[in-house]
Every structure is written in structure tokens, then in C-alpha cells.
Amino acid sequence: MSERLQPGDTAPAFTLPDADGKEVSLADHKGRKVIVYFYPAALTPGCTKQACDFTDNLELLAGAGYDVIGISPDKPEKLAKFREKENLEVTLLADPDKKVLDAYGAFGEKMNYGKTYMGVIRSTIVVDEQGKVERALYNVRATGHVAKIIKDLGI
């Protein structure tokens, strides 16, 4: 498990396939602020709620200069199903090797019902126009998280 990111850190560069298999890089968003959020699995209740919340607020976030990217260990085909089923407009990227999840400190030890296991830590990293971490939020809740980000960013 890698270290959690801190404000001021350089956001780790990445290039991952989106739901259509097209490569998307963090560098593609240089000059804009990016909200990169990590979630455990497409088509699950909590992750669906979170992705729908981001989609519902995409216009507001984009208007304030933010792009939104969701990253999970799912394969592009599953992300495409997720996007179609829920009418998602956020960019969804596939990280089946968990290399980016690990680089961002969003993969590690979790506990559920007293059992410890390795998994995706629901996290949100806000990256500024220069590629630096502005905010790093770990172990966030799926419900109400987007509203909290909007409030915290003063949008």
C-alpha cells in the first residue's frame, strides 16, 4: 500500500482506458482543475449513488472549472454498462491492475464485519491546474460526498 497523498504533492501521472477503451491521461486536463475519485465497483449501490451525484452536479462543477474522473478496478466493458444503465456523464476509467489506485493511496487494507482485506478505499483527490494535489480525502462516504465537496470548494 502506498502513502496517502497530501495537499501540495504532485498528482501521479496516469493514462488509463475509458469505458470505450480510449486512453485518457491526467495530462489531457492540464490547465483545468480535476476531481479524481476512486470507487470500489461499478453497478453497486453506493458507487452508483456517488457516480449519479457527480453526473447530476457535472454542469455546476464544469462551470467552476472542474473536470471529473472516476476510477475503479473494473474493466472498460463493465464501465460502459454502468454508464449506459445509469446515464452517467462523468469520465469513467478502468484500472484493473490497480496501479493508479495504488499510486494515489486509494487501495489498501480495509475492514468489514471484523474481517481485514485489501480493497479500494473510496477516495477523492482534487488536482489543481498545475497538477498539484489541492485536497486529498480518504474513506469518504458515497452518499452526500459530492455536496460536501461542492461546499468545501466554495462552488
The CATH number of residue 32's host domain is 3.40.30.10
Candidates 19, 24, 26, 47; catalytic one: 47
User: Do residues 90 and 103 lie in contact, with contact meaning Cβ atoms separated by under 8 Å?
Assistant: no
- Segments in the chain forming alpha helices (H): 45-56, 58-63, 76-86, 99-103, 145-152
Percent of the chain at pLDDT > 70 equals 99
Q: Is 52 a catalytic residue?
A: no
pTM (2 d.p.): 0.95
Q: Give the span between the Cα atoms of 10 and 155, in whole angstroms.
A: 24
Taking only the tens place, the pLDDT of each residue in 89-104 is 999 999 999 999 999 9
pLDDT at 138: 95
Q: Is residue 1 part of a domain?
A: no
Q: Is residue 2 part of a domain?
A: no
For 10, the grid coordinates are: 504532485
Taking only the tens place, the pLDDT of each residue in 50-84 is 999 999 999 999 999 999 999 999 999 999 999 99
User: Do residues 146 and 54 lie in contact, with contact meaning Cβ atoms separated by under 8 Å?
Assistant: yes
For 100, the grid coordinates are: 493508479
Give the total number of structural domains in the chain: 1
Q: Which domain holds residue 55?
A: 7-151
pLDDT at 95: 98
Taking only the tens place, the pLDDT of each residue in 92-138 is 999 999 999 999 999 998 888 888 989 999 999 999 999 999 999 99
